[in-house]
Amino acid sequence: MSEISALLKRTVEDRFGFVRVRGELSGVKRAASGHIYLALKDENARLDGVMWRGTAARLSFQPEDGLEVVATGKLTTYPGRSNYQMVIERMEVAGEGALLALLARTKARLEAEGLFAPARKRALPYLPDVIGVITSPTGAVIRDILHRLADRFPSRVLVWPVLVQGQGAAEQVAAALRGFSALPHLGAIPRPDLVIVARGGGSIEDLWAFNEETVVRAIAESQIPVISAVGHETDTTLADFAADRRAPTPTAAAEMAVPVREDLLVQLSELAVRKRRAVQRPLQLGRERLAARADRLPRLESLLSPQAQRLDEVTERLRRGLTDRTALARGALQQAGARLSLPLLTARIDRARDRLEGAGRFLHSLDPDRVLQRGYARVTAGDGRTLVSRARAADEAALVIHFRDGMLGVVPADAAAGRIAGRPKPAARPAAPEQGKLL
């Protein structure tokens, strides 16, 4: 069986090594490996097909059920199922009608997701510092944009070169949109304030890259406002619906991007004149109102005359009051002077001296050391407190005895005995005179 299958496989591949088939896609399925499995059918027949991952990645459109295509490849057999299939090496949409149908289906699907909703549209910056342009680096489009910007308002332009047609164009445009959005605000390369996606006119096949879902989603996800300027005024792509603004031509996109510098200068001049008038008008009105109100104000003399008269009255009353107060003070001073005679002051001083001497004698009688002159002694603690009982004295570690002719430090017998009991017995020494006990 294996030999028959191998022979059949060689026969089919030799006989049908190159075929070109037109049909409608059916059962399109993309495997996890990246391969695409599908079927091509017409009203009478069905042909299974497979497109390997490398070929599928180069497709310029998204295969869908019902799309009419022209597939080029070869026929081969699959022994595991005893059937034959077409290995597709190239596939393109069959005719403009099919492309338009595919475009309509893709537009409806993306519109249902809200990618074209007016609420998503953002306002363009009035005067962008940096403008990003995604287009081919060669050709008339970039020259027209730069020339128009230079005429209206010279601006800094960053060009991201991409393919605008053919295989890989959609991926490059989408990568450029995401690349501009990924630039840091304060990086070495300035992040654009506005992005223009531009391409010249062409057929629907030429503009197809801007109908691809990857480009539409990249425009919708862009963090920077986008102007779509693809084709001529009559050309419409899905990029136009996803962009924040659609320009009929690349030149018109440049006109949308920046205002006319000369017009701005004229407007600034007009605003400056209006500003001066606006500043001067209130001042003029203020002067007129101030003059009118000043004319209605009363004279200064009429305003101050009642207060001046009252000031005169208060001044006279103050003068009389000071005179009367001085006379009273002079009389009181004379009466006080009569009481300050020398004999009276001497008597007061003598009485004060007698009171002071009496207080001194009383203080001397209270001196605790006075009795020391009569042979008594006074016992104090180390901090100077006088001790008047044996119990208080026994609690002290050291005592001071005050005599008439000086002081003597002693140790209470109880404290001395306690210290001696806690030490080892010392060596015998010559006997000393016995110390007397205080208590």
Percent of the chain with pLDDT strictly greater than 70? 92
Q: Both 53 and 155 in a single domain? A: no
Q: Both 78 and 148 in a single domain? A: no
pLDDT, mean of residues 258-262: 89
Residue that terminates a domain, selected from 241, 262, 283: 262
Residue that terminates a domain, selected from 246, 262, 278: 262
* Rounded CA separation 134/171 (Å): 12
Residue 174: pLDDT band (50, 70, 90) is very high
pLDDT of residue 95: 65
Q: Both 82 and 111 in a single domain? A: no
Query: Does residue 293 sit within a domain?
Result: no
Q: Both 143 and 230 in a single domain? A: yes
Residue 418: pLDDT band (50, 70, 90) is low
Selection from 154-158, 307-311, 428-432 with the highest mean pLDDT: 154-158
pLDDT of residue 111: 92
The pLDDT of residue 198 is above 90: yes
Query: Does residue 277 sit within a domain?
Result: no
Q: Both 202 and 164 in a single domain? A: yes
pLDDT of residue 217: 94
Range of weakest confidence among 154-163, 259-268, 336-345: 336-345
Amino acid at position 172, single letter:
Q
Q: Which residue has the higher pLDDT, 47 or 94?
A: 47
Residue 194: pLDDT band (50, 70, 90) is very high
Contacts of 189 (CB under 8 A, 6+ apart): 158, 183
Provide the mean pLDDT of the chain.
85
Contacts of 20 (CB under 8 A, 6+ apart): 70, 71, 72
pLDDT tens-digit readout, 298-350? 777 777 778 888 888 899 889 888 888 898 888 888 887 776 767 777 888 88
Q: Both 132 and 159 in a single domain? A: yes
Query: Does residue 20 sit within a domain?
Result: yes
Contacts of 412 (CB under 8 A, 6+ apart): 393, 394, 396, 399, 438, 439
* Rounded CA separation 152/337 (Å): 106
Q: Which domain holds residue 199?
A: 107-118+128-262
Helix (H) / strand (E) containing 195: strand 194-199
Burial of 223 (0-12, 13-18, 19+ CB in 10 A): middle
Q: Both 250 and 111 in a single domain? A: yes
Residue 193: pLDDT band (50, 70, 90) is very high
Residue 118: pLDDT band (50, 70, 90) is very high
Residue that terminates a domain, selected from 210, 232, 262: 262
pLDDT of residue 437: 44
The pLDDT of residue 60 is above 70: no
Percent of the chain with pLDDT strictly greater than 90? 31
Contacts of 25 (CB under 8 A, 6+ apart): 38, 39, 40, 63, 64, 65, 66, 67, 68, 69
Q: Which residue has the higher pLDDT, 13 or 121?
A: 121
Number of domains, the chain: 3
* Rounded CA separation 244/233 (Å): 17
Q: Which residue has the higher pLDDT, 80 or 413?
A: 413
pLDDT of residue 16: 84
Tokens, residue 246 = 């659609």
Q: Both 258 and 137 in a single domain? A: yes
The pLDDT of residue 273 is above 80: yes
Domain CATH for 191: 3.40.50.261
* Rounded CA separation 426/180 (Å): 102
Query: Does residue 413 sit within a domain?
Result: yes
Query: Does residue 178 sit within a domain?
Result: yes
Query: Does residue 162 sit within a domain?
Result: yes
Domain CATH for 54: 2.40.50.140
Q: Both 156 and 214 in a single domain? A: yes
The reported pTM is 0.50
Residue 120: pLDDT band (50, 70, 90) is very high
Query: Does residue 208 sit within a domain?
Result: yes
Return the SS3 of 131.
strand
Query: Does residue 59 sit within a domain?
Result: yes
Q: Both 147 and 59 in a single domain? A: no
Q: Both 84 and 112 in a single domain? A: no
The pLDDT of residue 165 is above 50: yes
The pLDDT of residue 135 is above 60: yes
The pLDDT of residue 67 is above 60: yes
DSSP code string of 318-381: HHHHHHHHHHHHHHHHHHHHHH--HHHHHHHHHHHHHHHHHHHHHHHHT-TTGGGGGT--EEEE
Q: Both 153 and 75 in a single domain? A: no
